[in-house]
Structure 1
Amino acid sequence: MWRTSAFLLALAATSSFAASIPNARRSAKPVGKRQSTIVPQNDNTTSYAVDGTSLPEVDFDVGESYAGLMPISDEEDSPELFFWFFPSENPAAENEITIWLNGGPGCSSLEGLFQENGPVLWQWGTFKPVRNPWSWHNLTNMLYVEQPVGTGFTTGEPTATNEEMAADQFLGFFKNFVDTFGFHERSIYIAGESYAGKYIPYISNAMFDAEDTTYYNLESIMLIDPSLSEDIIQEEIPAVPFVDYWGPLLNLNESFLEDIHDRADACNFTSFIETYLVFPPPGPMPMPEESEECGLWGDILDAEFLINPCFNVYRITDTCPVLWDVLGFPGSFEYTPPGASVYFNRSDVQEAINAPVGATWALCSDGVLDQDTSPETALSVLPGVIEQTNKTIITHGTADYILLAQGSLLAIQNMTWEGEQGFQSEPADPFFVPYHEDQSVASLAGAGVMGTTHTERGLTWIEVNMAGHMLPQFVPSAMYRQLEFLLGRVESVTEDTPFTTLQTQ
């Protein structure tokens, strides 16, 4: 999840974590009814064990998992990050860990776990949690982390003012996690969405700088609908072409359309795209200046709310009514109907997952990296990370209005890696998702050609048609195939080979 503009910041969740709540980590307890475990059991690991049969409202065993608070340093009273780890039964995952991060800043990775790619799904407007056949832990060992300090169940005051500080916190946490569970020298993959487009490249850069493969043996990364560059690049300049692309769906009147096109021309946005969104690019892009007159993205948003009061910036195909979200944030604004409760604010849920009992949990917390002083990743650390990884994926949904796909391509075309700027050829290859037999009406997912893709010099771009901001939530099968590619289980996202696991065939 990404929070931007004064409008969305005003609507975002405002409850921040109460740091004074004591650590409620549970003592050793059984992992459930399984006769054996994937993770070696000792005093360190069993204290984090979660009974997969005891999650409130969940009427199935979610399997072996471990959750709780882990300090970011060895200092007394160190701040702690909350994590939830799901080991995989897939033999191919034995020597790897995949880390998942949501964005914000200050938005919890439990969103990704509970509504995107974890073993349990409780989607907007649905009756109950269901088993997720597209869970990423079918493929790899999955670690979900709430970070930086100040997010979700984390303890301590948020002190990070830039991405380098947040990355340092994460590396301290991850070193303690590896030591606790004995996961040394494992291959590391990192995936995340939205503001994680800032988190992940800086964390990756810090891992490479550490030169310590015992703890930080980073292989590849995947950035989903990511923040890569300034808002004017990823929101303002491509806003009018976005309206043109979606035309009838947005239903804007002729006089408004004429006005925004005239303003896009006057602000040089139209000529900017014509000049710089080409393959190969002509050279470095000048950074346009932002102004109130050229604030097209926000004006389009205001107009859409008049037409569709339930307009969802994360997936523009949504219409009224607003669906109840068990995490409290089902789209453009926070919404909790009378009598409802946010799942992770329930004390029985907190006790079941070794979270601080009585804590106030919010999907997105204020006060986290409010004044992020680090340069945008496409113009700083990301090119070097692309050069040092075996593979980097940037993937984007076309129905996302919070960050626009054309904006991500503009950021790529202004980025230089491996001695060349941008892609030399326009993305045009078909992105293919294997045909499959769906296991349940509750987890239907598409197949066939679902977008376009392109790879050059270690960077793969994937554009997914009709998909919103949270890609694993909206197109789970498409993201399952992309994860297989990230992990090296398939050679290309253009191939028509079946999925590599039995769970989804």
Structure 2
Amino acid sequence: MDAIPNYQLRVKSPQLCDTNVTQYSGYLDTSENKHFYFWFFEARKGKREDAPLILWLNGGPGCSSFTGLLMELGPCRVSPGGNDTEHNPFAWNDRAHVIFLDQPTNVGFSYGSDVFTSLAAGKDVNALLQLFYEGFLQYAKSELHVFGESYGGHYVPAVAKAIRESNDRVKENRRAAQLQGVDDSENLRMLPLVSIGIGNAIVDPLVQYKYYSQMACNSTYAPVLSKEQCKAMDDAYPTCAQMTRTCYRWRNALACVPAMMYCGNKIEGMYMKSGRNPYDVRRDCEGNDLCYPILNDVDTYLNLPEVQRELGVEVSKYVSCSDKVYTGFSLNGDLMKPFHQEIPPLLADGIRVLVYAGDADFICNWYGNKAWSMELEWPGKDAFNQAGDKEWAVGRGSAGEVRSYGNFTFLRVFGAGHMVPYDQPANALDMINRWLANEEF
């Protein structure tokens, strides 16, 4: 592909996790110094050429998407102790192909030159998807759905922005080539982006920081903090908001890092001192810094020499989250930047957008996610806000509440924390299958 020089595809077909489906793992080299590791699973059901393709991204920033694979929505889950895996009947490759991607560089098994902003990372993922569709022509007809959680609220809009802008350039180049009678077959291809999904994510910090106190003290679950502590959080919000608006205006480290530090210390920090799980207000933090013991098992499994040989990895030690990448993004103030602003152009282009949130999460809670969804400036804003909430039922049970207008949907998931497919696997599978089929909730 002339448009991406020095690219290379190095692939294995591992016999791990779910040997009943076709798998590919390996490296997509988008340049001489960027090597992205992926693990792909074909759909369990449906024709290969008809199945949609989901790209899954975990957050951090700096955390491997194999958390999603081995803990949440992959075809298997890691076994207790980390020496094997177990079949996951609720995997998202039920009716879709799924790529789990370690990005940006130096996350998980990926390596290369550093990338410390979401927009730069988004351009890299666009290049990677170009190579994937080029290298696996059997999936050329697969519609693309980009999904992520947590810091995916930055990653996913950034990836979609890069794809949209690349597709626009492809259209322009094709028109110019046709007029000149030139062959442009070696240039970039149009990526078939159909939808994005953002789960329990940080997207619009200005709005979302306002709702941390409500989740800590006045949610549908038992309070975690005292009224005095939550009042202190509310008292800090006006300054947090003022600093965040400055970040939104200038979008540089000088404006955004102070906002991140103030809002994080004065608002989030109050909860972090409690010892409770920031990803689930129903639980204490246990096991490790990320509060889930299963993640220790994921680390153990992916560091087994026989697993690494089968996967063909070139990074000897797997670490679930990179401190270096997290620090790099933090020093750029990337966390506080306004990635909700990338959503309206997608909606205008007909891209479907799903925002979903487990309602027991604190750190990217459903109150804040619903609020930014309703405050989003787009032509359908008033109709979306007037649409009201409807019950989402799975079988005979109530699984959550949904609000939708046009190609924009917000879904509250009952009884789930930060990682919806981990806490509510059956309901999460119902969610993704309905979404892929473009069916109503």
- Band of TM-score, shorter chain: 0.7 to 0.9
Q: How far apart, in 1, do the equivalents of 2:86 and 2:310 lie? A: 18
> Is 1:243 matched up with 2:201?
no
Q: How far apart, in 1, do the equivalents of 2:233 and 2:152 lie? A: 32
Which one of the candidate residues 38, 45, 51 is aligned to 1:90?
A: 45
> Is 1:313 matched up with 2:278?
yes
Which one of the candidate residues 194, 219, 232 is aligned to 2:194?
A: 219
> Is 1:234 matched up with 2:205?
no
Q: How does 1:25-40 map to 2 (within 5 A)?
A: none
Contact 1:398–1:467 (Cα < 8 Å) also in 2: yes
Name the % identity.
22
Q: How far apart, in 2, do the equivalents of 1:62 and 1:91 lie? A: 14
Alignment-derived partner of residue 228 in structure 2:
258
Alignment-derived partner of residue 361 in structure 2:
400
TM-score, reference length from structure 1: 0.69
Which one of the candidate residues 68, 83, 86 is aligned to 2:26?
A: 68
Alignment size in residue pairs: 392
Which one of the candidate residues 367, 371, 383 is aligned to 1:410?
A: 371
1:132 alignment partner AA:
N
**Deviation per CA, 1:395-420, whole angstroms, max 9, x where unpaired?**
00111111121111222233111264
* Alpha-carbon spacing, 1:316–1:175, altered in 2? closer, same or farther (3 Å): same
* Alpha-carbon spacing, 1:233–1:348, altered in 2? closer, same or farther (3 Å): same
Q: How far apart, in 2, do the equivalents of 1:248 and 1:197 lie? A: 24
**Unmatched runs of 5 consecutive residues or more in structure 2:** 1-7, 172-188, 243-258
**SS of equivalent to 1:191:** strand
Task: Give the deviation of 1:452 after TM superposition.
Answer: 0.8
> Is 1:163 matched up with 2:163?
no
Contact 1:69–1:82 (Cα < 8 Å) also in 2: yes
Q: How does 1:108-147 map to 2 (within 5 A)?
A: 108-122=64-78, 129-147=85-103
Task: Give the deviation of 1:66 after TM superposition.
Answer: 0.6
Contact 2:73–2:422 (Cα < 8 Å) also in 1: yes
Q: How far apart, in 2, do the equivalents of 1:487 and 1:294 lie? A: 39
Alignment-derived partner of residue 316 in structure 2:
359
Q: How far apart, in 1, do the equivalents of 2:161 and 2:46 lie? A: 29
Q: How far apart, in 2, do the equivalents of 1:197 and 1:120 lie? A: 25
1:477 alignment partner AA:
A
The two structures, once aligned, show a CA RMSD in angstroms of 3.4
Alignment-derived partner of residue 165 in structure 2:
209
* Alpha-carbon spacing, 1:376–1:268, altered in 2? closer, same or farther (3 Å): closer
Alignment-derived partner of residue 439 in structure 2:
491
Which range is displaced more, 173-182 or 418-427?
418-427
**SS of equivalent to 1:480:** helix
* Alpha-carbon spacing, 1:246–1:85, altered in 2? closer, same or farther (3 Å): same
Q: How far apart, in 1, do the equivalents of 2:126 and 2:232 lie? A: 48
Alignment-derived partner of residue 12 in structure 2:
48
Contact 1:467–1:475 (Cα < 8 Å) also in 2: yes
* Alpha-carbon spacing, 1:355–1:399, altered in 2? closer, same or farther (3 Å): same
Task: Give the deviation of 1:222 after TM superposition.
Answer: 0.8
Task: Give the deviation of 1:364 after TM superposition.
Answer: 0.7
Contact 1:186–1:215 (Cα < 8 Å) also in 2: no
Alignment-derived partner of residue 460 in structure 1:
409
* Alpha-carbon spacing, 1:80–1:423, altered in 2? closer, same or farther (3 Å): same
**Unmatched runs of 5 consecutive residues or more in structure 1:** 1-24, 26-43, 273-288, 306-310, 436-447, 494-505
* Alpha-carbon spacing, 1:492–1:150, altered in 2? closer, same or farther (3 Å): same
Q: How far apart, in 1, do the equivalents of 2:342 and 2:76 lie? A: 34
Which range is displaced more, 472-481 or 372-381?
372-381
Contact 1:398–1:463 (Cα < 8 Å) also in 2: yes
TM-score, reference length from structure 2: 0.78
Task: Give the deviation of 1:332 after TM superposition.
Answer: 7.1
* Alpha-carbon spacing, 1:207–1:383, altered in 2? closer, same or farther (3 Å): same
Which range is displaced more, 162-171 or 208-217?
208-217
* Alpha-carbon spacing, 1:226–1:93, altered in 2? closer, same or farther (3 Å): farther
Contact 2:380–2:405 (Cα < 8 Å) also in 1: no
Contact 2:153–2:339 (Cα < 8 Å) also in 1: no
Which one of the candidate residues 309, 315, 331 is aligned to 2:291?
A: 331
